[in-house]
A and B are shown apart, each in its own frame.
Chain A
Amino acid sequence: MKKEIGIIFILLAIFALLGGVFFGSISALQFIIPGFLDSIPFFKSRPLHVSLVIAWIFLSSIGGIYYYLPRYCNLPLYSAKLPRIHFWIFLLTGITILSCYIIGKFGGREYWEFPPILAIPIFISWVLFGFNYFKTVIKQAGQWPVYLWMWGTGIFFFLFTFSESYLWLIPYFRDNIVRDITVQWKAYGALVGSWNMLVYGTVIFLMERIKGDQSIAKSKLSFLMYFLGLTNLLFGWAHHIYIVPTHLWIRYFSYGISMTELLILGNIIWNWKNSVTETKKNFHFLSFKFIAASDFWIFLNLALALVISVPAINILTHGTHITVAHAMGTTIGINTMILLASCFFLIDDVTKHQYTLIQKKIITIGFWIMNLFLMIFWASLILAGAEKGKLVIEDKLSFQEIMQNISPYLTLFTIAGIGIFIGLLMITIPLLKTIKEYFKINKQ
């Protein structure tokens, strides 16, 4: 029996997640204890952390899409071979990228710090993915559920913004620092929007399937949220470039766009209150837990995002630990919670596995450990950033003195990061064991 490609992507995704959080913990320790683990210094552990965590988001989203389309959407993949080619390109490029980091061969920029030549196989793999996706979903008759739009939009805009993030290779962009930074930061802002489309499509799909109500993904409200998300993807990036000299109208426009997220926030809180009680009975126990947690983190992170989108506040928080709190809170609290829910849904569906009482207990304890430490992690970064922003504006202390002042928060942040890693191990080890059993049974 041929193994499900979706589960193979998910397996690689879980390894990327554990590796990413492991290197994240190492980086945090190196930040507070200079010289810790000198064999993998900070300038290597940090890109290892960033690239592996991004790989987790992509691999788990893609694994889900490849699995859900034929199984649940009645849309057999246009090509069953392309996903396997996609997987091997990802795996081989990924190994090459990690090797480059370990031997200290860089040459790229934030997110993609590997030699730029390795962007070519990544781009090709996404073209294959996009080609297969659109050739598959084009067969869908009638109104598309919103997640098909979200996934398609995510793939298209990933290719667009990924290319844009490499414009610095062209001298026209590289030779002018203002133009260079503007384009680079714009590309990264929109890039995050593109992978959010993949993740949010996944959560709407899961909510629809678990609740057993197909109207969720076809409702006007879902489409309104999609269009607001798309508008933010297209224009909301501009708060990334507040401090770069730009036309005033761009700042005002982006500020207004960022504020439209208030509408989403209001809807999410409203739906959250209702959906928790209504759908609880029908939800898959573990997937439900993680989706419910992501709702909580959406609320907190959107509130933070809105606050730091105000130019008068952004000038204090830009480049401080508050930006990191925003990035980490959304990546771990929202994206990772949703993607873990998808992992549980998909693995349970493929393997028909029933968790033992002890396994459920371990996963539940891991879930609470992860969330509790994430709260400490997030709060300590906000406190560190607020203190740093205030001290920088006051302009009385040197950089070293400012860092000395915020070091207790950073120690707390590091301990909390290790706590998140422990929680994640408790959640993912039962998942990995289930996949191992599945592979044993389906040994060719």
Chain B
Amino acid sequence: MGPDITNIISANNKGEMYAKAFLLSGTQRMPNFHLKENEIDELIAFLTYVDKTGISPVKKFSINIDGTINQE
């Protein structure tokens, strides 16, 4: 039920440093896991890779008559 972070690296006003800040300090809901520098780098590399696999959540789509959708 947390935020969708699929495209956090390429999102406007966010990106690598934004994600790093969250990982370093945590938030009220996400604890600071006290990750090491290399672990944070690996997570950022993973998020960068995930970002390129597609867009989520899908916000632009058209609905076919049979209830299926076409992503735009």
Residue A392 is within 8 A (CB to CB) of chain B in the complex: yes
Contact size range, B:
20 to 34
Give A310's nearest chain B residue, CB to CB.
B67
Query: A177: which of B1, B4, B49 is its contact (CB, 8 Å)?
Result: B49
Query: What's the least CB distance linking A343 to chain B, in Å?
Result: 31
**Contact present for A393 and B59 (CB under 8 Å):** yes
B29 to chain A, nearest CB (A): 5
With contacts A34-B28, A43-B31, A251-B68 known, is A392 near B59, CB below 8 A? yes
Report the interface size class on chain A.
20 to 34
In the complex, what residues of A have CB within 8 A of residue B63's CB? Answer: 312
Task: Give per-residue flags for B34-72: 1 if the beta carbon is below 8 A from chain A beta carbons, else 0.
Answer: 000000000000000110011011110101100111000
**Residue of A with least CB distance to B33:** A43
Q: How many pairs, one residue from A and one from B, have CB atoms within 8 Å of each other in the complex?
A: 47
B53–A395 contact, CB under 8 A? no
Q: Which residues of A contact B54 (CB under 8 A)?
A: 245
Q: Please state if B68 and A177 are interface contacts (CB–CB under 8 Å).
A: no
Please report the C-alpha to C-alpha distance between residue A35 and residue B26 in the assembled complex, in whole angstroms.
13
Q: Given A312-B63, A315-B58, A399-B3, A35–B69 Cβ distance below 8 Å?
A: no
Given the known inter-chain contacts A177-B50, A310-B67, A319-B4, please indicate yes or no for A42 contacting B56, CB distance below 8 A: no
Q: Which of A22-69 contact B (CB under 8 A)?
A: 31, 34-35, 41-43
Chain A minimum-CB-distance residue to B67: A310
Taking each of B28, B54, B67, which has the highest tally of chain A beta carbons within 10 Å of its own beta carbon? B67
Given contacts A251-B68, A255-B68, A321-B1, contact A243 B58 (CB under 8 A): yes
* Residues in chain B near residue A393, CB distance under 8 A: 57, 59
Q: In this complex, what residue of B is CB-closest to A35?
A: B28
Contacts of A313 in B (CB 8 A): 67
Q: How far is the CB of A62 from chain B (nearest CB, A)?
A: 31
The answer to whether B59 and A395 touch across the interface, beta carbons within 8 angstroms, is yes
Chain B hits for A320, CB < 8 A: 1
Residue from the list B50, B56, B67 in contact with A311, Cβ < 8 A = B67
B19 CB, min distance to chain A CBs, angstroms: 14
How distant is the Cα of A178 from the Cα of B54 in the complex, in angstroms? 10
Residues of B within 8 A of A252 (CB): 68
Interface residue ranges of A271-323 to B (CB < 8 Å) = 310-313, 315, 318-321
Closest A residue to B52 by CB, please name it.
A177
Contact, CB under 8 Å: A178 / B28:
no
Q: A252-B68, A392-B4 are in contact. List 4 more A-B contacts (CB 8 A).
A: A31-B1, A35-B28, A243-B56, A251-B68
Show 8 A/B contacts (Cβ-Cβ < 8 Å), sorted by A.
A31-B1, A178-B53, A243-B56, A311-B68, A315-B57, A324-B1, A392-B4, A399-B3
Residues of A whose CB lies within 8 Å of any CB of B are 31, 34-35, 41-43, 177-178, 243, 245, 251-252, 255, 310-313, 315, 318-321, 324, 392-393, 395, 399
